[in-house]
Chain A
Amino acid sequence: MQGLLKNRRVTLGLWLLVLVIGGLLVWGTAHNAGLYRDPIMQVTHVQTGTATKEEDDFHNVDRQTKQVLRGHILNGKYRGQKLTVTNTYSLSGAMDQHYHKGSQLFVVIHQHRASQLTATAKDAKRDTPLVFMLWLVVGLLLLIMQFSGFMAFLSVALNGVLFLIAIILNGSTQGARVLWIFGSLAVVFATLTLWLVIGANRQMLITLVTTLGGTALSLIVALLVFHFTHEKGMYYESMQYVTQLPRPLFLAETLLGSLGAVMDESTDIISSLFALKRERPELSARQVFKSGRQIGSTIMGPLINVLFFIFVADTFPMAMLYLKNGNSWGYTFSMNMSMGVVQSLISGIGIVLAVPLASYLASRFMVKKVRA
């Protein structure tokens, strides 16, 4: 009991340490202007002008307001110098910012006479909220999940590093091999993650084969459907931020997107089946397969939903803008949401196909381990 208590105290101590370090980091990002090369302005005084009414061709009414920001530069060679910047913001604020007293923003300095700098506002500084949220996630994770939380975070962080390497690799090949790079990355991702979550054993191997098999099958089905429908209604031109050939990029995005969900599902099904077999070793392969299908069919729906909301909810602002610019519902859907829906459908196919695959592989190859 005393050992347990001591253990608790150590965990609590560690958690407090993370809390304090994180808090310092958040505070630090609010005062880290010195690390940036671009000049950052601290607003100390705001003078708001009168609002003017704007109306566009589609009778959307908005208000634009001019504000005069006074403040000083926090970093670089102009550090400490006072300056005045005018900024215009709108009620909707889709492409502009409404700054307040205390805001920090990047400015572009044009010229400077004896005492007065001339500059324009570029963009807001956003690293503090970003680090704050990261701190919140890590703190909560360690508080509620303790060691497992740490492992979960570690696997996400490692995958993030791998992801970055793959993107740099993709850049160095001008995107010519995007599908190959992210395809092999998927294999590495899955192996590493499952090894961290399950450990190196037969269960992990079966889960890995199911994950890769399910994901690959979904892409094959998708390519077959693409072939027979001649990709009718696939609006590759509607994809955002595309800087290379869109079709392989789309497939790579879909592959990565479905990989995590298929892995999640196969882990669930196969670990339940292993637990079942341990408890009741007399079960036949057929019965194991049946239970696998049972478990799988209850979790596949919610999982497809997870991806659906990630892929499609993201298009909300742009879709709304299309509607407000006098476009029809159908055109708005095609130009904004259809590619996300196609991605969700392909991932969904992978998630569903992984159910029989996981059940079959578990029922067929788990037996030997239990007997041995």
Chain B
Amino acid sequence: MSTINVLGLVLLILMVLVGGKAGLQSFLALLLNFGLLFLAIVLVAFHFPPLPVTLVVGLLVLALTIFMSSGDDLSSTVAFLASAAVLVILVLLIVPVEHWALVQGFGPEDSEDLEGLSVLIGINFVQVTTATAILSTLGAIAEAAMAIAAGLSEILEQHPQVTTKALLGDGITVGKQIIGTTFNTLFFGFFGGFLALFIWFTGVHYSFGEILNDKIFVSEILMILFAMVSVILTVPITAWVMTRAVAGQRRRAAKRSGDEK
């Protein structure tokens, strides 16, 4: 058996042992997410337009990740709507910045890997790189939205009469607690992935100015910054969606009790 299969099996067993049914569901969600990501790549390679493909795949990934983990109905729905809104805002930000920064495709550092490959493939790499940046933030958006929604739904459970205005403030408070650790997840996640590149820069003695304008470096740092923007935006948006959902619920409840009288 290959290493990758054994590692996957170990992860599956551990997730079931620790999380039971929820663990199994999370593992399935992970597998399906991988399938969706691969599907996106294949579809773009078949000349489907990259941005619409990314948006559809992105929404599916968010739905899968959020609804397949064990949360209550209210917080899952709120988390999904909020993360979908963040995804749309993020697309509106990433598209112009990627056009401006000219970081599409590959850099001179990639030339060894590109040996023997034709790069003139007729697919716009600005759009491909935009798609990559959007996809790489999906996990972070889903995680942050779920954490805030779960925190708020717990507050609602303990204080069912909390005003919507106070709830909005509570959302920011919950957000403050998670933002520090979430930033670290992003920082280490991305920097772990780029370790080799940074070692390359110091090994080949790039100057500070060269690094700051290097295609690959700028493209990677932009990805971290996009992810950070999306996590920051997720906090107030999730809190706001939660207040709308609660206000709607209360209106319906008030109407129903009014009808009964």
CA distance A252 to B191 in the complex (A): 11
Q: Is A242 positioned at the interface, with any CB of B under 8 Å from its CB?
A: yes
Residue pair B132, A62 in contact (C-beta under 8 Å) = no
Residue pair B26, A300 in contact (C-beta under 8 Å) = yes
CA distance A129 to B199 in the complex (A): 24
Residue pair B200, A241 in contact (C-beta under 8 Å) = yes
A127 to chain B, nearest CB (A): 5
Q: Is B52 positioned at the interface, with any CB of A under 8 Å from its CB?
A: no
Main SS at interface, chain A: helix
Residue pair A341, B4 in contact (C-beta under 8 Å) = yes
CA distance A306 to B146 in the complex (A): 12
Which candidate, B97-105, B159-167, B244-252, is the interface stretch facing chain A?
B97-105
Cross-interface CB contact of A58 among B118, B143, B218, cutoff 8 Å? B118
Residue pair A321, B119 in contact (C-beta under 8 Å) = yes
Q: Is A257 positioned at the interface, with any CB of B under 8 Å from its CB?
A: yes
CA distance A341 to B4 in the complex (A): 8
Also in contact, A126 and B184, with CB within 8 A (given A316-B132, A317-B105): no
Q: Is B74 positioned at the interface, with any CB of A under 8 Å from its CB?
A: no
Residues of B within 8 A of A10 (CB): none
Q: Is A12 positioned at the interface, with any CB of B under 8 Å from its CB?
A: no
Q: Is B131 positioned at the interface, with any CB of A under 8 Å from its CB?
A: yes
Which of B1-30 touch A at CB < 8 Å? Answer: 1-4, 6-8, 10-11, 14-15, 18-20, 22-23, 25-27, 29-30
Residue of A nearest to B158 (CB): A279
Residues of B within 8 A of A132 (CB): 97
Residue of A nearest to B136 (CB): A313
Residues of B within 8 A of A187 (CB): none
Residues of B within 8 A of A108 (CB): none
CA distance A35 to B192 in the complex (A): 31
A61 to chain B, nearest CB (A): 5
Which of A149-203 touch B at CB < 8 Å? Answer: 149, 151-153, 155-156, 159-160, 163, 167-168, 170-171, 175, 182, 189, 193, 196-197
Residue pair B101, A130 in contact (C-beta under 8 Å) = yes
Residue pair A197, B123 in contact (C-beta under 8 Å) = no
Q: Is B179 positioned at the interface, with any CB of A under 8 Å from its CB?
A: yes
Q: Is B77 positioned at the interface, with any CB of A under 8 Å from its CB?
A: no
Residue pair A263, B137 in contact (C-beta under 8 Å) = no
Residue of B nearest to A321 (CB): B117
Residue of B nearest to A254 (CB): B192
Which of A95-131 touch B at CB < 8 Å? Answer: 95, 97, 106, 123-130
Cross-interface CB contact of A263 among B11, B181, B198, cutoff 8 Å? B181
Most buried by A among B22, B138, B191, B226: B191
Residue pair A297, B184 in contact (C-beta under 8 Å) = no
Most buried by B among A36, A61, A317, A323: A317
Q: Is B148 positioned at the interface, with any CB of A under 8 Å from its CB?
A: no
Residue pair B3, A226 in contact (C-beta under 8 Å) = yes
Residue pair A310, B125 in contact (C-beta under 8 Å) = no
Most buried by B among A58, A92, A253, A254: A92
Residues of B within 8 A of A92 (CB): 105, 119-125
CA distance A196 to B179 in the complex (A): 13
Q: Mark B99-116, 1 if CB is under 8 A from A, else 0.
A: 011111110011001100
- Which B positions have Cβ atoms within 8 angstroms of A? 1-4, 6-8, 10-11, 14-15, 18-20, 22-23, 25-27, 29-30, 33-34, 37-38, 40-42, 44-45, 61, 65, 68-71, 97, 100-106, 109-110, 113-114, 117-126, 128-129, 131-132, 135-140, 142-143, 146-147, 150, 172, 175-193, 195-200, 202-204, 207, 209, 212-215, 218, 221-223, 225-229, 232-233, 235-236
- Which A positions have Cβ atoms within 8 angstroms of B? 35-38, 54, 56-58, 60-64, 90-95, 97, 106, 123-130, 132-134, 136-137, 140-141, 144-145, 148-149, 151-153, 155-156, 159-160, 163, 167-168, 170-171, 175, 182, 189, 193, 196-197, 221-222, 225-226, 228-229, 231-234, 239-244, 249, 252-261, 263-264, 267-268, 271, 293, 296-314, 316-325, 329, 333, 337-338, 340-343, 345-346, 348-349, 352-353, 355-356
29 A–B contacts from the bound complex (CB under 8 Å)? A38-B209, A56-B121, A58-B118, A92-B123, A94-B119, A95-B114, A126-B212, A136-B225, A137-B225, A141-B228, A144-B172, A163-B198, A170-B202, A225-B3, A225-B10, A232-B1, A234-B4, A240-B110, A242-B196, A244-B203, A253-B193, A256-B195, A257-B193, A300-B19, A302-B146, A311-B189, A320-B128, A323-B45, A325-B118
